[in-house]
Amino acid sequence: MWDLLFENKLDNIIPEDRIFRDEPMYKHTTFRIGGPVGRFVSVTGYEELRDVISLCKEYDVQYYIIGNGSNLLVSDKGYDGVIIEIGSHMRECFLEDGIVGSPVKTPWIKEGEIVGSSAGVLLSSLANFALKNSLSGLEFAAGIPGSVGGAMVMNAGAYGGEMKDVVSNVTIFDSNSGEIRKLSVDEMEFSYRHSIVKEKGYVVLAAEFKLQKGDMADIKATMDELAAKRREKQPLEYPSAGSTFKRPEGYFAGKLIQDSGLKGYTVGGAQVSDKHSGFVINRDNARAEEVYRLICDVREKVYADSGVMLEPEVIMLGEF
């Protein structure tokens, strides 16, 4: 039961058309899985974000930030709290510390080869913006279906590139102190599919990328080549959250899974992809519970066969 005062205050922060009640999360995840969330709000900028978080804290309501939902498995029971989406509606940019720039949705050239982007921008749009400006460095990221914010959290990477190689700084909102700060790459403590953001409860607002002047045709050729590789190797025709497991040191998750005879292994509507064993796909209206059981089975069998315990890369939200 939601507190009426909470509801009224939320209505005063976010216009009605950006608050969704009992919103099914399958609509907001690339896995196309997930039950209802108490309140789903899509913010346009920093002030809305700050006010929703402080309201949740005041009423002791749990909240969770999402970007494009491309690395999330949300429980069938959903999430009893507020999901705050920093995605397609997020317009504000942060040109300097604490200064909210003019509302822009697309990335922008700050100076020379430095490109800035709001957290809600998709990596594909950012990479295409770089391409149009003959800036090289983000080719590897064009096919990762996440937002800039999510990519900062995960230190997203592919084909030998990682966010940490191209980021120059990240603007965050510290929900504990209420401050906006610009973190250097060192302060972000990037490592494999990790940064400091989650540990500290930060919210990513924007990031700047240091790119290099390049040749537009070469940049395009690299992007096309990597996109073709993805189409060839990955089961993009099915909903998923990308690689289900992190790469264990010295191994490849997909190879271990395949060696355990689990290619095509199915639990209900969830399946270890035939095309790429590192991907669990939503083959046929899978429930989160089925994906979860499949993940547990895979971990158990691979561990028994190889002694390697696979760690999920996919983030699970809600009760499992």
Ligand X SMILES: Cc1cc2nc3c(=O)[nH]c(=O)nc-3n(C[C@H](O)[C@H](O)[C@H](O)COP(=O)(O)OP(=O)(O)OC[C@H]3O[C@@H](n4cnc5c(N)ncnc54)[C@H](O)[C@@H]3O)c2cc1C
Q: Which residues sit at the interface with ligand X, rule CB under 6 A?
A: 30, 64-72, 86, 119, 144-147, 149-151, 153-154, 156-158, 197-198, 203-204, 236, 240-242, 315
Q: How far is the CB of 153 from ligand X (least distance, A)?
A: 4
Closer residue to ligand X (CB): 7 or 81: 81
Q: Which among 32, 193, 230, 293 is annotated as catalytic? A: 193
CA atoms within 13 A on the CB side of 130: 33
* 230: annotated active-site residue: no
243 is catalytic: yes
Q: Six-digit token pair at 40?
A: 């789903």
- CA–CA separation, 8 and 21 (whole Å): 13
The CB-of-289 to ligand X minimum distance in angstroms stands at: 19
Distance CA 186, CA 188 (A): 5
Tell me whether residue 136 or residue 147 sits nearer to ligand X (CB atom): 147
The minimum distance between CB 238 and ligand X, in angstroms, equals 9
- The smaller minimum CB distance to ligand X, of residues 30 and 258, is found at 30
Residue (5 or 83) nearer to ligand X, CB: 83
Enumerate residues 6+ apart whose C-beta is below 8 A from 112: none
Query: Cβ of residue 307: shortest distance to ligand X, in angstroms?
Result: 26
Q: Which is nearer to ligand X, 69 or 214 (CB)?
A: 69
Q: Say which of 243, 260, 273, 277 is annotated catalytic.
A: 243
Closest approach, Cβ 6 to ligand X, in A, equals 22
The answer to whether residues 168 and 208 touch, using CB atoms and an 8 Å cutoff, is: yes
Closest approach of ligand X to the CB of residue 7, in Å: 24
232 labelled catalytic: no
Closest to ligand X by CB, 64 vs 303, is: 64
Catalogue the active-site residues.
193, 243, 313
